[in-house]
Amino acid sequence: MFKRNFGMPGMNPNMGCCNEEANCPIIEPTINKCVEREFCHEVKHICPINTHVINKHIYNHTYTPAYTCTEENQVINNDPGSCCKFMNNGF
């Protein structure tokens, strides 16, 4: 009766394999095992980063006095006259 309820192939007494119940193996119900597997994938992302550089040129104006000096030479001839002056005139 156990064999008939499960409908096992090859257990028909007319096939000549298991005419005697003592020699026939009992096939148990199938046990399903569940195996979980994890697959890790690396997904690369490109994150563009732009650096904008601002160069500031700062001119600080300073004023330094530059002193100059000019010089002038004047020549003054104090000539009260000479004795030769009168002689040249013929007097």
Q: pLDDT at position 85, please?
A: 58
Q: pLDDT at position 1, please?
A: 46
Say how many residues make up the chain. 91
Q: pLDDT at position 40, please?
A: 92
Reported as a single tens digit per residue, the pLDDT across 39-85 is: 999 999 999 999 999 999 999 999 999 999 999 988 888 877 766 65
Reported as a single tens digit per residue, the pLDDT across 17-47 is: 555 567 888 899 999 999 999 999 999 999 9
